[in-house]
């Protein structure tokens, strides 16, 4: 809760001050854009040139901003990945992002590192198309900047020494507000009765990334787009998103005049987290808050994970895109990447919590470390002996379980590569190494056989 919130939640008008970041009510540092949580929403038309100056006023802390959903083919150096596409923006310097918003739909921007994003640096990036070409334009009456829903996990302050990442998530926020601060400061979406509204939802931030299910009491959601891409619409009672995903739905305001909760429910590390906001019909007097989820049990859920579809569920495999797959993506070479988390057998203890330092993530047995210069713009400044891949293991790594290096895989210009990620879970010291093979599906089953169960 920032200082400007004054006596929020006791005085609810203070909670609604534009610059009051109430979050879930506890005191912690934030990194936010323009003193707002979420940051200002950016609304543009397709192919507009977006110019954003990032003035970094954080002493001794550098960052970059990633524009999620924008391919940036014309200006890859504007993608916002530190030490890969650009140098990070140092404290007290300014960097100008300038690129074409080529990909329409619901997107968002965020500070690139997980920690900065979890500290609050994110905001909506909505790219609209002309009515003539918007494929679902006939399915709704209103597409307003008032109906943007940014979901985020809110955590303890990473800088205060909390050591177990599994214990971090405290609340699910909707547009930077959480019911923990009391119902006064919930986000409210105003609607008129008997209209169809396009709601644009993005799950922007979180240290853990637990799936979140959204629903609106007594209403169905007609899902029309995923990650900015139009799909054949599905009508569901709730829909699940994970970190980074976007989803557009149409809400028909066909219930009696009242206020209905828009819920964001998550089970995160066995904690029940309930994000709340309010959909308020015009003419609602404030007396009768509808508070029933009649549809939850007897209607389908939309699950964007790879589930088995059965009655009551729409799974990712059922989703049909309105756009045909581009012809250049039909022929591809597969490349397999094995991801695992290495446990070095040494447990650090801090109180009763296991220290996160004992877990090391690896891809193809390499742990990525950042190069001293951006790979895209200054590749020649990166010493060759820091780089690694399957064909080139640095001398320092021979015989070592953990190899930190600038992991670089080469792909020929103009080719299409299908990247297959294999999650191998947790590995212990001396356990089987990830076998990296290209082009054989038999190898995949072999890899799965080598998977070490999580509850070793």
- Rule CB under 5 A: which residues touch Cu ion? 66, 68
Query: Partners of 353 in the beta sheet?
Result: 350
105 or 258: CB nearest Cu ion: 105
Give the residue nearest to Cu ion (CB).
Answer: 68
For residue 31, the SS3 value is coil
In 3D space, the residue among 70, 69, 45 whose CA is nearest the CA of residue 130 turns out to be 45
299 or 370: CB nearest Cu ion: 370
Closest separation between CB of residue 66 and Cu ion, Å? 5
Closest separation between CB of residue 107 and Cu ion, Å? 9
64 or 364: CB nearest Cu ion: 64
In 10 A of CB 155, how many CB atoms? 22
- The whole-angstrom distance between residue 98's C-alpha and the CA centroid of its chain comes to 23
What is the 3-state secondary structure of 302-361? EECCCCCCCCCEEEHHHCCECCCCCHHHCCCEEEEEEEEEEECCCCCEECCEECHHHEEE
Backbone φ/ψ region at 51: left (φ over 0), alpha (ψ -120 to 50), beta: beta
- DSSP H or E stretch at residue 188: strand 188-191
Residue 73 DSSP code: S
17 or 113: CB nearest Cu ion: 113
Closest separation between CB of residue 9 and Cu ion, Å? 32
Closest separation between CB of residue 54 and Cu ion, Å? 15
86 or 431: CB nearest Cu ion: 86
Scanning the structure block, which residue is given the tokens 């709704």?
140
In 156-183, which positions are buried (b, 16+ CB within 10 angstroms) versus exposed (e)?
Answer: bebeeebeebebbbbbbbbbbbbbbbee
Distance separating the N- and C-terminal Cα atoms of the chain: 41
- From the number of C-beta atoms within 10 Å of its C-beta (0-12, 13-18, 19+), residue 57 rates as exposed
Closest separation between CB of residue 280 and Cu ion, Å? 31
Closest separation between CB of residue 112 and Cu ion, Å? 8
Q: How far apart are CA 20 and CA 18, in angstroms?
A: 6
66 or 263: CB nearest Cu ion: 66
In Å, how far are 38, 215, 314 from 135, measured between CA atoms?
Answer: 29, 24, 21
Closest separation between CB of residue 67 and Cu ion, Å? 8
48 or 114: CB nearest Cu ion: 114
Q: Taking a C-beta distance cutoff of 8 angstroms, is the pair 185, 8 a contact? A: yes
Closest separation between CB of residue 283 and Cu ion, Å? 40
Closest separation between CB of residue 105 and Cu ion, Å? 14
89 or 434: CB nearest Cu ion: 89
179 or 206: CB nearest Cu ion: 206
């Amino acid at each position: 809760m920032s200082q400007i919130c004054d006596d929020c939640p006791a005085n609810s008008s203070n909670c609604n001050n534009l610059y009051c970041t109430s979050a879930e009510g506890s005191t912690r540092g934030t990194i936010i854009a323009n003193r707002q949580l979420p940051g200002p929403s950016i609304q543009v038309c397709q192919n507009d040139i977006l110019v954003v100056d990032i003035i970094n006023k954080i002493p001794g802390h550098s960052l970059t901003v990633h524009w999620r959903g924008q391919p940036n083919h014309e200006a890859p150096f504007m993608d916002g990945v530190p030490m890969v596409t650009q140098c990070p923006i140092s404290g007290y310097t300014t960097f100008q992002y300038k690129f074409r918003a080529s990909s329409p739909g619901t997107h968002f921007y965020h500070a690139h590192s997980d920690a900065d994003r979890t500290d609050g640096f994110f905001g909506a990036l909505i790219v609209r198309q002309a009515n003539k070409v918007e494929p679902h334009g006939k399915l709704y009456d209103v597409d307003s900047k008032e109906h943007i829903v940014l979901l985020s996990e809110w955590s303890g302050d990473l800088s205060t020494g909390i050591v177990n990442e599994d214990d971090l998530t405290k609340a699910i926020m909707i547009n930077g507000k959480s019911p923990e601060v009391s119902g006064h400061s919930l986000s409210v979406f105003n609607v008129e009765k008997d209209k169809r509204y396009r709601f644009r939802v993005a799950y922007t931030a979180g240290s853990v990334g637990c799936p979140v299910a959204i629903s609106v009491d007594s209403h169905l959601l007609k899902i029309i787009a995923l990650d900015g891409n139009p799909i054949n619409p599905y009508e569901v009672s709730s829909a699940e998103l994970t970190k980074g995903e976007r989803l557009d739905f149409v809400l028909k305001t066909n219930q009696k005049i009242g206020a209905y909760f828009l819920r964001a429910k998550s089970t995160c590390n066995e904690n029940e987290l309930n994000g709340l906001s309010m959909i308020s019909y015009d003419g609602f007097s404030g007396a009768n808050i509808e508070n029933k989820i009649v549809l939850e049990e007897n209607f389908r859920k939309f699950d964007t994970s790879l589930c088995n579809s059965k009655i009551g569920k729409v799974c990712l495999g059922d989703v049909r895109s309105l756009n045909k797959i581009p012809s250049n993506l039909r022929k591809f070479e597969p490349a397999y990447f094995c991801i695992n988390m290495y446990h070095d057998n040494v447990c650090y203890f801090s109180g009763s919590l296991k220290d996160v330092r004992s877990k090391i993530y690896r891809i193809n047995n390499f742990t990525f470390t950042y190069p001293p210069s951006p790979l895209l713009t200054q590749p020649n400044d990166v010493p060759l002996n820091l780089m690694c891949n399957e064909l080139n293991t640095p001398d320092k790594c021979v015989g070592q379980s953990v190899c930190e290096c600038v992991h670089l895989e080469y792909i020929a210009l103009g080719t299409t590569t299908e990247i297959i990620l294999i999650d191998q879970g947790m590995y212990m010291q001396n356990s089987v190494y990830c076998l990296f093979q290209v082009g054989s599906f038999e190898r995949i089953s072999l890899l799965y056989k080598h998977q070490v169960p999580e509850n070793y």
